[in-house]
């Protein structure tokens, strides 16, 4: 299609050029007749009727043969070529272009004809010989090495440094680990993060960096990337009071202490992650050492809601077991429970689930629950009235 249009434009340019040459030639012939005078004009006029069928020579006078007029422009130009002689007619002014043999053109006219034809054929010769003339795709401009380096070193979007959340958290849980009765509590949950530092009084609190687990206490991320996270934290262990349940009457309190916790989390593919942690009583108040390990999976069920499924196991050393599940001789006398001195072992296994819904960029709602079972020395303790444990929790938070 493009090739045909280009050819039509080339032919049009050629015809215009030929018309221009004809006009120049007409002017030249008019000038020559002006120089020859009326006698020459008359001779040419008288020869007019006899030249219709070709060129003839008589008395050394050259009579022109037939030559076709190519455009109206030439007719108008010829009509204007009048010399004002008596006895002159329109036919007399057109004698040079009526049928007859054309006399040789001047070198200038021949050169103009050749240039016109070359100008018309040159665009066609430059056309590629193919069926379609769609333009070839342009090659991308070469990138200057300095520009590429500057683009690569351009700073990325700034990450969050300060962020936080605050809101109420409601929970239903056993009064102590191993009790059959439950309590309902409402606490003002909070969370605050600056860079790698964070502080929270509730696990599971979620803010904008919702790919991270929120650990209770004052924490520091020693290492964090897309796969691995290494965290250390200090948290308050409230211990246990005998007034928490009637089943603990005569049992000494477990004093409040400070625990140091170290945890490692490794992110797998498709939302899976594994983690493990260890916590120690820094003040030596009978808290001992505890260990935990677990697997969790996060799945986005809608644009604004994420579902989490997790399972875990807990272990503890003998000091922890005796503080929370043991009965000393003095306690046995005061409470009536038999003396019980457990050792190191598995404390429990659990299965939990949680849901998180983004209400809007500032508000988030979360709820969930867990079921578990005490095992080993913890399940055999006289203080354990129910080995099956379950809990529920829900909360809403405003994020900033």
Taking only the tens place, the pLDDT of each residue in 143-173 is 444 444 444 444 444 455 788 889 999 999 9
Instruction: Give the pLDDT score at 195.
Output: 86
**Residue indicated by tokens 């069926």:** 131
Selection from 62-71, 194-203, 286-295 with the highest mean pLDDT: 286-295
Instruction: Give the pLDDT score at 69.
Output: 45
**Residue indicated by tokens 């996060």:** 298
Q: How big is the chain by its Cα radius of gyration, in Å?
A: 53
Contacts of 53 (CB under 8 A, 6+ apart): 99
Exposure of 38 in the CB half-sphere (CA atoms within 13 A): 6
Pick the CATH number of 162-399 from 1.20.140.10, 1.10.10.10, 2.40.160.40, 2.40.37.10: 2.40.160.40
Q: Which two tokens stand for residue 312?
A: 């875990």
Instruction: Give the pLDDT score at 15.
Output: 52
Contacts of 39 (CB under 8 A, 6+ apart): none
Average model confidence (pLDDT) across the chain: 74
- Angstrom distance (rounded) from CA 272 to CA 354: 15
Average pLDDT of the segment spanning 246-250: 93
Q: Considering the chain, tell me which residue range(s) the CATH 2.40.160.40 domain(s) occupy.
A: 162-399
The residues that bridge with 369 in the sheet, in sequence order, are 353, 392
Instruction: Give the pLDDT score at 117.
Output: 52
Q: Which residue has the higher pLDDT, 135 or 348?
A: 348
How distant, in Å, are the alpha carbons of 30, 68, 71 from that of 55?
20, 14, 23
Cβ–Cβ under 8 Å, residues 199 and 192:
yes
3-state secondary structure of 55: coil
Cβ–Cβ under 8 Å, residues 325 and 383:
yes
The residues that bridge with 312 in the sheet, in sequence order, are 294, 350
β-pairing verdict for 162-174 and 388-399? antiparallel
Average pLDDT of the segment spanning 244-254: 94
Instruction: Give the pLDDT score at 208.
Output: 53
Q: Which two tokens stand for residue 38?
A: 């009326």
**Residue indicated by tokens 């003339």:** 133
């Amino acid at each position: 299609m493009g090739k045909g249009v280009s050819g039509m434009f080339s032919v049009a340019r050629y015809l215009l050029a030929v018309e221009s040459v004809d006009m120049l030639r007409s002017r030249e012939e008019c000038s020559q007749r002006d120089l020859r005078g009326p006698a020459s004009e008359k001779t040419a006029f008288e020869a007019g009727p006899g030249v219709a069928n070709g060129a003839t020579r008589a008395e050394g006078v050259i009579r022109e043969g037939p030559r076709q007029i190519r455009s109206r422009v030439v007719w108008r130009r010829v009509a204007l070529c009048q010399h004002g002689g008596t006895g002159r007619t329109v036919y007399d002014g057109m004698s040079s272009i009526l049928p007859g043999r054309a006399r040789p053109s001047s070198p200038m006219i021949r050169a103009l004809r050749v240039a016109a034809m070359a100008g018309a054929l040159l665009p066609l010769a430059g056309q590629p010989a193919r069926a379609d003339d769609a333009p070839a795709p342009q090659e991308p401009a070469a990138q200057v090495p300095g520009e590429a380096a500057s683009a690569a070193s351009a700073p990325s979007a700034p990450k969050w440094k300060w962020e936080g959340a605050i809101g109420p958290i409601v929970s239903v849980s056993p009064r102590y680990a191993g009790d059959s009765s439950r309590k309902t509590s409402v606490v003002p949950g909070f969370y605050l993060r600056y860079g790698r530092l964070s502080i929270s009084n509730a696990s599971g609190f979620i803010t904008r960096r919702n790919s991270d687990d929120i650990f209770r206490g004052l924490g520091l991320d020693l290492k964090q990337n897309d796969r691995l996270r290494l965290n250390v934290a200090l948290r308050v262990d409230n211990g246990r009071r005998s007034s928490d349940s009637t089943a603990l009457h005569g049992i000494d309190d477990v004093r409040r202490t400070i625990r140091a916790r170290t945890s490692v989390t490794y992110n797998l593919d498709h939302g899976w992650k594994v983690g493990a942690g260890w916590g120690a009583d820094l003040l030596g108040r009978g808290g001992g050492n505890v260990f935990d390990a677990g697997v969790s999976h996060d799945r986005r069920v809608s644009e604004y809601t994420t579902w989490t499924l997790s399972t875990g196991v807990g272990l503890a050393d003998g000091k922890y077991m005796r503080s929370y599940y043991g009965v000393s001789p003095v306690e046995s006398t005061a409470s009536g429970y038999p003396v019980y001195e457990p050792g190191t072992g598995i404390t429990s296994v659990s299965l939990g689930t949680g849901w998180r819904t983004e209400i809007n960029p500032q508000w988030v709602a979360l709820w969930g629950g867990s079921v578990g079972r005490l095992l080993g020395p913890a399940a055999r303790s006289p203080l354990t009235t129910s080995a099956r444990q379950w809990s529920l929790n829900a909360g809403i938070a405003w994020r900033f």
